[in-house]
Amino acid sequence: MNLTAQRSTAPAGEHARPWIKWSLAALAVIVVIGLGVSTVFRAAVSRAERTDFTVYRAAGQAVIDGTDIYQAHNVHGWFYVYPPPFAILMVPFAKLSVFWGALIWYVISVALTAWAVIMCATLASRIAATETDRLFLYGIPILLVLGWFMSGAARGQASILMSWLVIAAFFCRFRGRAGLGGVCLAAAILLKVIPAVLLAYFVWRKQWRFVAATFAALVVGALLLPSVVFGWQQNVAYLHECVGVVAQPAVAQKETRELSGLNQQLLDPQKLRNQSLLGAIGRITQSPHAREAAIVLAVIMAAVTVWSAHRVQGDTELLVAAAAIIWMLLVPPVSETHYFVALLWPVAMLTAEARGGATADTRRLSGMALHAFAVASLVAIFVRSVQFYGLLCWGTLGLWVALLMLTHRRSRTDQGDERGRDTNSINQR
């Protein structure tokens, strides 16, 4: 089905009035400035330093001083937990004052988020059957993840950069730039290992050029370039230390994980801001078999995704990619709330379906999923205690269900259209 060819011009009432756009723009400016003041204050003024930016800056200083980057920490006692390349990236910020470094890091985070919104809206407009006002494609996704963006930005978190890299990887893939997309995914993996699970998606879709570019960039980014800075032996030692300090305890059993110095900072699934399947199931059930249950559910999600999307064609794959991003967020042992900025892609796709879907059923389904997620997200933000039950996790899982239902329906429609064209071709012979 050629969705582009079937688009029709939306009624005049579909387009927002200018005063609405100006009001939203003014509100955005107020939020950005207010959040920026809070972010810089937490990093440069507050003695508590409840910010991750000063941890990154300390790692950059460790690179300059030649000391162990995994011993770098801020006043609050948070340690550096990322692969070595990110510490090198933070060297310029270590040479700036905390004030200017935090301000520049915040501006970069805002710019990357705006860029991600534009990329998502650009591709989401391709799956709508009717023309959709860009105000909705820009506004609704950022509004629905605003709380989690603010959480990440206020703490100077690198998750915003990771989300941008993941979205850019898919954007490049769908714009025919597989090589650049692979580089973006590799950069996301070198920042936080979590996006590595997305390689399974690209292998399944037989995007071999993308996969090859990812592995090539990983070799360069993890081994060659850092070795220029650290030396080969020291870089290999850092990689082993990263695995031993962070990766192994993250996937270990409870007794081993609790011995890690990072358990309270990051790894404990009982922490409310961990909204992965493991975190939510573990807190609700308090069962020693929570890990096994989370693994089973993750495998079921992967199998259902493959079953629902094995015959997708054309732009329908945008919905499958959105489902893959949700899978990436839910299956790791640790998935903190600010990671969910990556939901910009899934929410944008559902917004396009809700505003410009081909049928009333698809519009209704998409709208219900977005409303349910909005409620879950707002309640989780303002009633923090409900995060114990994984409300953000389950609300995100609802988006995944809606995306696959839409994918399945569109796939059946595409196959019906293909069979119809084949029948017409036979009749014409």
pLDDT by position in tens, the chain (length 429):
333 334 444 443 445 567 677 777 788 889 899 999 999 998 888 877 778 999 999 999 999 999 999 999 888 888 898 999 999 999 999 999 999 999 999 999 999 999 999 999 999 998 887 777 788 899 999 999 999 999 999 999 999 999 999 999 999 999 999 999 999 999 999 999 999 999 999 999 999 999 999 999 999 999 999 999 999 999 999 999 888 877 777 666 666 666 666 666 666 777 888 999 999 999 999 888 888 999 999 999 999 999 888 878 788 899 999 999 999 999 998 899 999 999 999 999 999 999 888 788 989 999 999 999 999 999 999 998 888 999 999 999 999 999 999 998 887 766 555 544 444 444 444
Asked if 322 and 260 count as a contact pair (C-beta separation under 8 A), the reply is no
Q: What is the DSSP string of 169-226?
A: HHHHHHTT-HHHHHHHHHHHHHH-SGGGGGHHHHHHTT-HHHHHHHHHHHHIIIIIHH
Q: How far apart are CA 228 and CA 231, in angstroms?
A: 6
Using CA atoms, how far residue 403 sits from 194, 397, 406, in Å, is: 21, 10, 5
Using CA atoms, how far residue 46 sits from 76, 93, 134, in Å, is: 11, 18, 39
Q: Which residues pair with 73 in a beta bridge?
A: 79
- Up-side HSE of residue 114: CA atoms within 13 Å toward CB? 10
Interior/surface letters 157-194, b for 16+ CB within 10 angstroms, e for the rest: bbbbbbbbbbbbbbbbbbeebbebbbbbbbbbbbbbbb
The pLDDT value recorded for residue 252 is: 64
Asked if 266 and 257 count as a contact pair (C-beta separation under 8 A), the reply is no
Instruction: Using DSSP, state whether 334 is helix, strand or coil.
Output: coil
Other Cβ atoms less than 10 A from the Cβ of 370: the count is 22
Phi, psi of 274 (to 5 degrees): -85, 110
The pLDDT value recorded for residue 26 is: 84
* Structure tokens given for 84: 């070595």
pTM: 0.89
- Up-side HSE of residue 153: CA atoms within 13 Å toward CB? 26
Listed by start position, the domains of the chain span 120-156+269-418
The alpha carbon of 38 is separated from its chain's Cα centroid by a whole number of angstroms, namely: 24
Q: How far apart are CA 149 and CA 159, in angstroms?
A: 9
Phi, psi of 334 (to 5 degrees): -130, 125
The pLDDT value recorded for residue 411 is: 76
CA 92, 94, 98, 102 dihedral sign is positive
The pLDDT value recorded for residue 50 is: 79
Residue 43 parent element (H or E): helix 18-44
Q: How far apart are CA 166 and CA 175, in angstroms?
A: 14
Asked if 136 and 351 count as a contact pair (C-beta separation under 8 A), the reply is yes
Instruction: Using DSSP, state whether 79 is helix, strand or coil.
Output: strand
The pLDDT value recorded for residue 415 is: 54
Q: Which of 382, 378, 369, 389 is nearest to 274 (CA)?
A: 389
